[in-house]
A and B are shown apart, each in its own frame.
Chain A
Amino acid sequence: MWVFVEHKDDKIRKVTFEMLSEARKLADQKGEELCAVVLGNNIGAFVETLGQYGTDKIYVLENELLSQYSTDGYTKALADLAKEQQPSILLFGATVIGKDLSPRVATRLGAGLATDCVKIGLDSEGNLIATRPMYAGKVIAEVGFSSDTPQMASVRPNILPATVLSDSRKAEVIRLKADISAADIKTTIVETIKTAGEKVDLTEADVIVSGGRGMKGPENFKILEELADVLAATVGASRAAVDAGWRLQIDQVGQTGKVVSPNLYIACGISGAIQHFAGMGTSKVIVAINKDPDAVIFGKCDYGIVDDLFKVVPIFTQECKKLRSE
């Protein structure tokens, strides 16, 4: 059983640990080894932490041409190794890279793939059963696989818990040279445009403070930024706020934006349309602050405040600051 490791700047993305923790249980049930697959170039010792989460074996596939992510290069390296090693199950994070790479690899291997899963398990014969939302979360589907292997799934970040089995647990590291040539890669990154700064990405944030139409203008998001600073949160936005041009599209949470699942989601001036819930309905705790008592979000949140957010939020920020300094 394999897990694709997503990493950047010598840091492994959290969703990788989440998948490994869950896959460890499945590997035990199947009586199989759990392998983590790392692609890149000059991969350092940071990969050793993968052992702590239950990994038995770490494949490190290296090539200069893998130093930057490309669909073509990564697909070839990963699919070649999978053809040779024949994993039974192959998991990816349902991240931008995971969702770009996994369908291409699945097609090359003639394998089935379930996208954006919120639960993974096995049937009585050890076949993967993946549970995933469809119709923007209005439906949950259980997906089964044909006997073609690997059985593949991408897993939504922030849903499964990441558990360190033991700090001293070690995995065997196998370093391999990936057989890729420049001609295999048909795309080149010519420029990278940063828009989000150093904040945690919405899809991995533990806390999200989101603003909607009730924010009344782009300048007012400052009060959400201040709250976010106190809570180490990332600021999101509803479609209304993005369509009004107050926030970037990259900040949008919802059916046509990002799907997020933080521990705490604070919705400010958001009515809570079904399309917005499609993007944040799996958050653990939802707080709504809206002055409209009829806003549908009050029917689906854990804590609601019916009041003017411009009065409540700044005081709430101060209260949180106080509590957190205690």
Chain B
Amino acid sequence: MNSIVCLKQVPDTEAQIRIKPDGSGIITQDIKYIINPYDEFGVEEALKLKEKFGAGTVTLVSMGPQRAIESIRMALAMGADKAIHLDDPAFEDGDAYTTAKVLAQAIKGLEYDIIFCGRQAIDDDLAQVGSALAEMLAIPQIYLVTKVDVASDKKKAKVNRQVVGGEEVIETTLPAVLTCQKGLNEPRYASLPGIMKAKKKEVNTMNAAALGIDPNSAGKAGAKCRILKMYSPPARSAGKIVSGADAAETAAKLAKLLREEAKII
């Protein structure tokens, strides 16, 4: 079972995000980076499939600047076999379209049965790259996957995905792109021997020229969308603390306020 996992390095969920004074982007200094949590579910699922089938390769494909190598090594330490690091200044400041194009170009020449992406990256929150990649590779996509069951011939899979009010079990042909949702699995931690081994695993770094991508069609130059400006959301200020002699009085006051002041119940 050969799996590809698309991996993005993103700021930690706890990170404070500061915006540059001119609103052109965020200040990246002092940010702690992690593997996008949804991509981590993909790594885990690919490792589980490899274990189940007893053979195959888990290949990571990650687009990002040099620092992304730390997240790639971390996923290799979890057990992935090898990685492609797509790193070129020309890839930066693009959109889902240009990102998927670079990923697709790197993946086209590989042998794979299944591709895992996160349901979205927790930095730009786009939730588009997995679908765009599937379209460019002309294979099916399944969004919000919570369970994967690959047939023994590796030609088909039954996949659970979240929908309004529940789940659907979908049968798909393989290869397909599955975008991972929380609940799919519990990603393993990298072990110490894993971390040692990861240092020696193959990471193939490729730039636009190596991929055969015209830099003018990548990143900012090729993007269909661009961020015009960024700003902080209006802060919510502390409201009224409702209190009374006892819980009964407090509760009654709250109900009254919601009815008469907020006019909401």
Contacts and interface: CB of A to CB of B under 8 A. Distances in A.
Interface of A: 71-72, 75, 95-96, 99-100, 102-104, 106-108, 110-116, 129, 132-146, 148, 186-197, 201, 207, 231, 249-250, 252, 255-257, 263-264, 274-275, 281, 284-287, 298-308, 311-313, 315-316, 318-320, 322-324
B171 A188 contact: yes
Given A104-B134, A193-B167, A129 B233 contact: no
A45 to B, nearest CB: 24
Given A144-B225, A144-B226, A135 B96 contact: no
B211 interface: no
Interface in B173-204: 173, 176, 181-183
Interface in B228-250: 228-233, 235-243, 247-248, 250
B26 A139 contact: yes
A187 B170 contact: yes
A179 to B, nearest CB: 18
- Top 8 closest pairs, chain A to chain B, by CB: A112-B224, A319-B255, A311-B247, A103-B131, A103-B128, A112-B225, A315-B251, A302-B239
A303 B250 contact: no
Contacts of B22: none
Interface of B: 11, 13-14, 16-17, 19, 26, 37, 95-97, 100, 120, 122-132, 134-136, 139-144, 146, 158, 160, 162-173, 176, 181-183, 223-233, 235-243, 247-248, 250-252, 254-259, 262, 264-265
Given A186-B139, A249-B182, A320-B255, 9 more contacts: A96-B164, A104-B134, A107-B131, A113-B225, A115-B127, A192-B163, A196-B166, A255-B122, A304-B240
B224 A303 contact: no
A146 B11 CA distance: 28
Tell me the dominant secondary structure on chain A's binding face: mixed
Contacts of B236: 281, 286, 300-301
Nearest to A310: B247
Nearest to B144: A96
16 contacts: A71-B142, A96-B163, A100-B131, A103-B96, A106-B96, A107-B135, A108-B135, A135-B26, A137-B233, A139-B232, A142-B229, A144-B228, A188-B170, A190-B171, A286-B236, A320-B265
A196 B165 contact: yes
Nearest to A116: B125
A318 B255 CA distance: 9
Contact of A186 (B132, B172, B227): B172
B166 A194 contact: yes
B247 A308 contact: yes
A184 B224 CA distance: 27
Given A146-B223, A186-B172, A190-B169, A103 B127 contact: yes
Given A196-B166, A305-B241, A320-B265, A143 B228 contact: yes
B133 to A, nearest CB: 9
A281 B227 CA distance: 22
B190 to A, nearest CB: 21
Nearest to A111: B224
Nearest to B19: A139
Nearest to B236: A300
A10 to B, nearest CB: 16
Given A107-B97, A142-B227, A286-B236, A201 B164 contact: yes
Instruction: Find the residue from A104, A148, A306 having the highest chain B CB count within 10 A.
Output: A104
Nearest to B163: A96
B140 to A, nearest CB: 4
A301 B236 CA distance: 7
Nearest to A144: B228
Nearest to B181: A249
Contacts of B16: 138
Contacts of B124: 134-135
Instruction: Find the residue from A71, A95, A231, A308 having the highest chain B CB count within 10 A.
Output: A71
A226 to B, nearest CB: 13
B221 to A, nearest CB: 10
A136 B258 CA distance: 28
Nearest to A301: B239
B127 A275 contact: no
